[in-house]
Structure 1
Amino acid sequence: MDEQTEELRDLFVETTGEESVTEGQTAERGDLADATTPEDADERVRELIARMRERYAFESGLDDEALGRVVTGFYADESDAEIADAVDADEATVFLARADLHLIRDSDRDAPFPLDDLRALIVDDVPMDERADRLDVRGSDASASQTEADASVAADAEATVEHYSQVVEADRRSTRANDRFTDEFADLLTDADLRESHTGDAHQSGLEEAAEDIETNTQL
């Protein structure tokens, strides 16, 4: 304990008469630093996934162990291709798993039409094929043409709208849950990464802030 810390401690004891509180707080900070091991984080991630499965209808078909790997891969900034290799699935399945788990990337929202327009159609419960028409994804003549080529264009348009509809629906589910699950995933995996030193670039700023907090607490 340096001189400044000692003076602050003496002032606190003199003011409150509660020396034991200071000692308890010091112990608690130590406990928090060691609260979540990587193994504990993995277990709690699976518990969160189980809770989500009870609440939502999952579409990917992956089991909870594979879904746990999807979560850790997402927060490690792995691509869907990398995650797909790790769980022995294809990228489309990984995307569905991420949507099931509310794990949407900013790049997932780069739609060829305004997502706000799609959200409005979803709220109005407009059928998928009609969404493509209203968003003009098929082009001006594709919906009226009966040729094989134009039918393929229409199918591709519906697939595109369905993909971004899944993005919007995942965001809506997350918002209704107050982003609780994604926040808990992030908290758990950030804690684990602090101890494992495997944090990706997406977590770097958060780690720097944590380090500043630790330094401030040490000085106090």
Structure 2
Amino acid sequence: MNEKTEELREIFTEVTDEETVTESQEAGRGSLEQDERDIEDRLEGVIERMRERYEFDTSLTTAELQTVARAFYEGAEDDEIADDLDVEPGEVFDARLALHLTRTDEVDEVDLVALREHDGTPTEIAAEFDCDVDEVTRYRAIAEARAESRAANDRYRDEFDSILADTELSTRMASDVREDGLEDATEGMETDVSF
């Protein structure tokens, strides 16, 4: 059986290019370090699908919308993102909502369903509840974006989570693995050495 195995191995190596056989093993599934180009392509794909399905009320390009999504997942506020893109914070807010990216803390103690279903104008609602018209307009926009996202089963938000939240997690995990490996390698070493 060893002779047969050896013959098969020789035939295999003669008819195949060694680089081709091993090339696919270099970047297999489950790697903690993802290809940046792949992330950009995936982001672009999600944004383009959303553009086809919804009417985006933004003048930002797809690349700028990618920046908005990335910055949102990094925890940046609208005014910070606006500074980076050299646009108004309101434009970033609108773009963020178009991408279904809302923050839970931006609507504390507001009944978004009641606000969205209220048939009054923002001015009438503001007078009824003794609040600012701009706040009513902002909350109503957030309510609409959340309703739109729910109607799509949060599919696009989930895709952003998969691309960007996992990327941040994997970067952090890769960093932790490197640090832990260094700690394990240096554990027990004498560090107070005099030359």
Secondary structure at 1:166 match in 2 = helix
Q: Would the aligned equivalents of 1:104 and 1:171 in 2 still touch at CA under 8 Å?
A: yes
Matches within 5 A, 1:183-198: 183-194=158-169, 197=171
Q: Which runs of 5+ in 1 are unaligned?
A: 1-26, 138-156, 200-206, 212-220
Partner residue of 1:127 out of 121, 143, 156: 121
Q: Would the aligned equivalents of 1:52 and 1:101 in 2 still touch at CA under 8 Å?
A: yes
Letter in 2 for 1:115: V
State the Cα deviation string for residues 88-145 of structure 1 (Å, max 9, x = none).
11211111111111111122113xxx522x52242243322222123222xxxxxxxx
Matches within 5 A, 1:130-145: 130-137=124-131
Q: Does residue 179 of structure 1 match 2:173? A: no
CA distance in 2, matches of 1:182, 1:159: 26
CA distance in 2, matches of 1:189, 1:122: 29
Q: Would the aligned equivalents of 1:36 and 1:188 in 2 still touch at CA under 8 Å?
A: no
Secondary structure at 2:153 match in 1 = coil
Aligned to 1:61: 59
TM-score (norm 2): 0.67
Q: Would the aligned equivalents of 2:50 and 2:99 in 1 still touch at CA under 8 Å?
A: yes
Aligned to 1:76: 74
Q: Does residue 160 of structure 1 match 2:110? A: no
Q: Would the aligned equivalents of 1:84 and 1:90 in 2 still touch at CA under 8 Å?
A: yes
Aligned-residue RMSD, C-alpha: 2.6
Change (3 A) 1:121 1:167: closer
Structure 1 vs Structure 2: percent identity of aligned residues? 36
Deviation at 1:35, TM superposition (A): 9.0
TM-score (norm 1): 0.60
Q: Does residue 170 of structure 1 match 2:145? A: yes
Matches within 5 A, 1:5-84: 30-33=28-31, 36-84=34-82
Deviation at 1:34, TM superposition (A): 6.7
Q: Would the aligned equivalents of 1:37 and 1:192 in 2 still touch at CA under 8 Å?
A: no
Q: Would the aligned equivalents of 1:36 and 1:191 in 2 still touch at CA under 8 Å?
A: no
Q: Would the aligned equivalents of 1:49 and 1:101 in 2 still touch at CA under 8 Å?
A: yes
Change (3 A) 1:121 1:108: closer
CA distance in 2, matches of 1:38, 1:77: 20
